[in-house]
Amino acid sequence: MSDESKVNGNSKNEQLEPFRSNDEGKKMTTNQGLKVSEDEFSLKAGERGPTLLEDFHFREKMTHFDHERIPERIVHARGFAAHGEFELYHSMKEYTKAGFLLDPSVKTPVFVRFSTVAGSRGSAETVRDARGFATKFYTQEGNYDLVGNNIPVFFIQDAVKFPDLIHALKPEPHNEMPQAASAHDTFWDFVANNQESAHMIMWAMSDRAIPRSLKMMEGFGVHTFRFVNDQGVAHFVKFHWKPLLGAHSLVWDEAQKISGKDPDFHRRDLWESIENGDYPEFEFGVQLLKEEDEFKFDFDILDPTKLWPEEDVPVQIIGKMTLNRNVDNVFAETEQVAFHPGHVVPGIDFSNDPLLQGRLISYTDTQLIRLGGPNFHELPINRPVCPFHNNQRDGYGRQTINKGPVSYHNNSLAGNTPATSTEAEGGYVSYQEKVEGRKVRARSDSFKDHFSQATLFWNSMSEPEKEHIIAAFSFELGKVKHKFIRQQVVDMFANVNTEMAAAIAEAVGATPPQGGGSKVMKSSPALSLANKAKTPKGRKVGVIAASGFNSGEVNAVLEALKAEGVQAEVISAKLGKVAGTDGLELEAMHTFLTADSVLFDAVYAAGGTAPDKKFIKDAAYFLNEAYAHYKPISAGGEGRAWLEASGIGKGPGVVMGEDSKLDTKSFIAAIAAHRHWDRQPV
């Protein structure tokens, strides 16, 4: 591979090419390459006789099938991934010697896997949960994995508690219920008895835990890491991904309905965006702290239940990732990709965060069972794009044919190669942090404030966000059967905010909290989704149309939407062409049976001669539901009558056409706003 193609092309894509196989148009063979003459009938002793053991084709085919499944990930089993590229805006030489963060002219191939945490591999995607956001950078110095989440803090402070947390979160073992949900007794029992979870729970009960789209959520490295420059000077660093489409969420009722209407909602949305060339983009940000500022905060920067408020430590945007290629095969790539926070490159190092420290052992270990042995790094998706050589040998599925007799170090037979590299030659040298202490099983006192940042989060929310948090707690605890657990949780969250806890208590039949309260007055505007970028780009509008719609108006609206990067899909009584007044034809991709308002961000009732009353009833239902989910609605022509039939009048985010003209600007502004919380219920 030429150096030029490594830089200007996508070296990972090129590396994967020889592994791709296109079977179309080819002759069928066994795995040994033998042409197969018959694939419908097994070899039998007589047409009605028993199948013969010598039928090697049948045996091979069936045996392979019998072994098609591998264990799903213990957490983050349900995931979806895409390829892309990372480009740097400016050199970070001052802070790190990581090669991919030095030269803005170099594009680094990436592979990103998004996931839910709790659910099984086939579970619905719009459940209330944190989302995994794992990025593999295929750098010229080796793979760097940033294995983050869409929430910047975690439930626990020490990795030793991770199995307990996950046991409590997963379906209860005696009846394997509920699937992909935290709304059950064991989870909330864990929360009440492990109060360090308070901050993360606030995020999990907020709109962040039901993202509208994988391309519309932020990502966080969570832990404090280190950047180390070529002078050996270190800075503490936290990593951020900021979506260019802004961060947006579903509403809970909608999220639950989508789980039934389209359990693949998030992957479909990501897949289609990439297929349509609307490539998801995320800017890469870092918060940096000098080593000497380690103790300047009222929290411990090693505590993974704490974030660094962006107003105190600004996020510097240093690059951008674009996801521009879907996988060819989900199993080969998405399922077999193996992430590990310990896959680092020179210039990136760890901190003593006890959660991070524990992760460093868990990830390789889990791949060994999941991918069946120690050679998972040889799978095409996991191979670094730079050469790799060492004395590791053999094991299940070994593909590399290492030549020569030497597989040990030191040696003379091979001139003591593969040779180690000095730091100047790019060898990884751990940051020489001075460490001393007694061997203890203990939590530092600096880790003991579990509530201040939970209150900071609450204080930072807009009113609608606060209402959603209370509703989410009320739902989750409402599913908890043990009254005393509900009470314990209410009492625990009184430490975050007493009014919030009282409102939850009221909803779940608990006694209002007696004590509690917080002195924290501070807020961090960066934490509220209400303050995120608003753009109509990337949204999807459902266009309800019947034959005879006003072509001029509808065309103008569709053109305006397209110009803003908004996707429009037509819904009608049946699939196929829908003709407008002057011959404009639209293709109905959906009917009221196959589509639902929950699958769209906005609705445009375009009008036309409704074939029957059922059409008007279906349209009204569609509009009503969209309205209830605070979505922008516009109506032109007969669409206005449908809107009236649904009982929706004028109001926030409702744009009515007049005299065959719809104010497209207002509609697009309403789409950009996404939700219109100030609406009164119909």
Asked if 448 and 454 count as a contact pair (C-beta separation under 8 A), the reply is no
604 is in an annotated binding site: no
Asked if residue 132 binds ligand HDE (CB under 6 A), the reply is yes
* Residue of 57, 76, 83, 266 with catalytic role: 76
Phi, psi for 545 (deg, rounded to 5): -135, 145
Shortest Cβ 107–ligand HDE spacing (Å): 22
- Cβ proximity to ligand HDE: between 180 and 633 the closer is 180
User: Segment contacting ligand HDE (CB under 6 A): 145-153, 403-411, 435-443, 545-553?
Assistant: 145-153
Give the binding range for ligand HDE (CB under 6 A) out of 135-143, 358-366, 519-527, 654-662. 358-366
Place of tokens 């009014």: 499
By CB under 6 A, the residues from 77 to 96 that bind ligand HDE are: 79
Spacing of C-alpha 303 from chain mean position? 23
Number of helices (H) and strands (E), helices first, in the chain? 17, 17
Residue of minimal Cβ distance to ligand HDE:
132
Annotated ligand binding at 73? The verdict is yes
> Least distance in Å: CB of 507 to ligand HDE?
30
Q: Pick the closest to residue 139 from 385, 304, 369 (CA basis).
A: 385
- Least CB distance to ligand HDE at residue 636 (A): 44
Rg (CA), the chain: 28
Q: Provide the β-strand partners of residue 290.
A: 235
Instruction: Determine which residue in the list 366, 407, 462, 547 makes contact with ligand HDE, applying CB under 6 A.
Output: 366
Part in contact with ligand HDE (CB under 6 A); list of ranges 143-151, 266-274, 317-325, 607-615? 143-151
> How far, in Å, are 404, 619, 642 from residue 548 at the CA level?
78, 16, 15
Q: Which of 227, 239, 339, 615 touches ligand HDE by CB under 6 A?
A: 339
Q: Which span (259-267, 353-361, 434-442, 603-611) binds ligand HDE, by CB under 6 A?
A: 353-361
Query: Using CA atoms, how far apart are residues 423 and 232, in angstroms rounded to an integer?
Result: 10
Judged by CB under 6 A, the residue of 99, 109, 148, 309 near ligand HDE is 148
149 is catalytic: yes
Q: Residue 450 Cβ, how far from ligand HDE at the closest point, in Å?
A: 16
Q: Which is nearer to ligand HDE, 113 or 267 (CB)?
A: 113
The number of residues making up the chain comes to: 682
Are 132 and 266 a contacting pair, CB within 8 Å? no
Question: What distance in Å separates the CA atoms of residue 115 and residue 132, rounded to the nearest whole number?
Answer: 5
Of 74, 406, 526, 560, the residue at the interface with ligand HDE (CB under 6 A) is: 74
Nearer to ligand HDE, 159 or 245 (CB): 159
Exactly one of 97, 107, 113, 184 binds ligand HDE (CB under 6 A); that residue is: 113
In the residue annotation, 409 being an active-site residue is answered as no
Give the up-direction half-sphere exposure of residue 509: CA atoms within 13 A in the CB hemisphere.
9
Residue 187 marked as a ligand binder: no
CB of 401 to ligand HDE, least distance (A): 28
Q: Among candidates 337, 373, 351, 374, which has minimal Cα distance to 147?
A: 337
Q: Should residue 159 be labelled a site residue for ligand HDE when binding is judged by CB under 6 A?
A: yes
363 is in an annotated binding site: yes
Binding to ligand HDE by residue 187, rule CB under 6 A? no
154 contacts ligand HDE (rule: CB under 6 A): yes
Q: Does 351 help bind ligand HDE (rule: CB under 6 A)?
A: no
Dihedral angle at the C-alpha atoms of 608, 612, 618, 622, nearest 10 degrees? 10
- Among candidate residues 10, 149, 326, 624, the one labeled active-site is 149
Q: Is 2 exposed, middle or buried (0-12, 13-18, 19+ CB in 10 A)?
A: exposed
Query: DSSP 3-state assignment of 508?
Result: helix
Region of 53-61, 136-144, 257-265, 360-368 interacting with ligand HDE (CB under 6 A) = 360-368
Q: 519-553 burial, b if ≥16 CB within 10 A, otherwise e?
A: ebeebbeebbbbebeebbebbbbbbbbbbbbbbeb
DSSP run (H or E) holding 80: strand 79-88
- Smaller CB separation from ligand HDE, 93 or 121: 121
Based on the shown chain and the rule CB under 6 A, indicate whether residue 237 belongs to the binding site for ligand HDE.
no
Query: Quick one: 62 or 70, whose CB is closer to ligand HDE?
Result: 70
The binding track of 19-58 with respect to ligand HDE, each residue x by CB under 6 A or -, is ----------------------------------------
Residues 6+ apart with CB under 8 A from 324: 82, 83, 84, 85, 274, 279
In whole angstroms, how close is the CB of 218 to ligand HDE at the nearest point?
13
**Segment near ligand HDE (CB under 6 A), from 75-83, 380-388, 411-419, 653-661?**
75-83
Q: How many residues bind ligand HDE (CB under 6 A)?
A: 24
CA distance 480 to 487: 11
Is 282 annotated to bind a ligand? Reply is no
Query: Can you tell me which of 73, 107, 320, 674 binds ligand HDE, judged by CB under 6 A?
Result: 73
Subset of 591-650 contacting ligand HDE (CB under 6 A): none
Contact (Cβ atoms closer than 8 angstroms) between residue 523 and residue 500: no
- Decide if residue 246 touches ligand HDE (CB under 6 A): no
Annotated binding residue 359: yes
Within a 13 Å sphere around the CA of 527, how many CA atoms are in the beta-carbon half? 29
- According to DSSP, residue 334 is labeled I
Shorter beta-carbon distance to ligand HDE: residue 251 or 344: 344
Q: Report whether 110 contacts 120 (CB < 8 A).
A: no
Q: How far is CA 21 from CA 16, 18, 25, 328, in A?
A: 10, 8, 12, 10
Active site residues: 76, 149
Residues lying near ligand HDE in the complex (CB under 6 A) are found at: 73-76, 79, 113, 115, 132, 134, 147-149, 154, 159, 162, 222, 339, 355, 358-359, 362-363, 366-367
Report the binding-site residues.
73, 113, 162, 359, 363, 370
